[in-house]
Amino acid sequence: MRWFVRIAFLSVIAMTAACMEQGSSPSNTTAPSLVTGGGAASPSNRSAGPVATASSASTATMQFGQPNVGSDYPPVPPHDQSAHAKDNLVPRTVVIDKGGKVTFNTFGVHQIGIYAPGTEPEDIDTSDLVQMPANCPAFAPLLIDDDTNRVASYTHACGGPWSVEHQFDEPGKYLVICAFLPHFEVQMYGWVIVRDRD
């Protein structure tokens, strides 16, 4: 038993000495910055996610959807959350300077709506609907057409990838949504924060 106590004591001394070795320092990690506030109030509310500040404050890119994640389970209850993997904006928030441009890359049925600063997801009238563009689901009007505070709307025939660039000339926090109703309902929206550097 004495040998065990001595070995344990020596092990503690050796570990303490190793930790106090000159040149060692505690590791510093930094979590991504989060933007808080905004977003529809609901139990499954998505976080704003990490903020992507472009290396050039005059440009940023947002990807509408991630086609190669999640499962193929249909996005209806009981859902396995694949919509939260596939049908989101990446990143959910970008920061640019006034006069900067954001490129929105998308594919499939995603449609783009941009709303003025001060607009929250719960402000969007999801009963104001029109028919989707060509090659999109046609069984019911599914495209949100709420023009209150809407700055821009970009629609495209459903199918392959497409991109559009939008310039933001006024500072503020703009709401960007997928205007395809089922995607907006699973909280497919994000933010463009435009800084005034004057």
Which residues are registered as beta bridge partners of 9? none
Per-residue pLDDT band for 59 (boundaries 50, 70, 90) equals: very high
Which of the four pLDDT bands, split at 50, 70 and 90, describes residue 47? low
User: What is the pLDDT, as a whole number, of residue 50?
Assistant: 52
Q: Which CATH superfamily is domain 37-195 in?
A: Cupredoxins -  blue copper proteins (2.60.40.420)
The pTM assigned to this predicted structure is 0.69
Nearest to 39 by CA among 114, 146, 115, 121: 121
Mean pLDDT of 40-47: 42
Structure tokens given for 93: 């928030």
| Residue 52, φ and ψ in degrees, nearest 5 | -105, 105
What is the percentage of the chain residues whose pLDDT exceeds 70?
65
Length of the chain: 198
The predicted-structure confidence for 82-134, as pLDDT tens digits, reads as follows 677 788 899 999 999 999 999 999 988 899 999 999 999 999 999 999 999 88
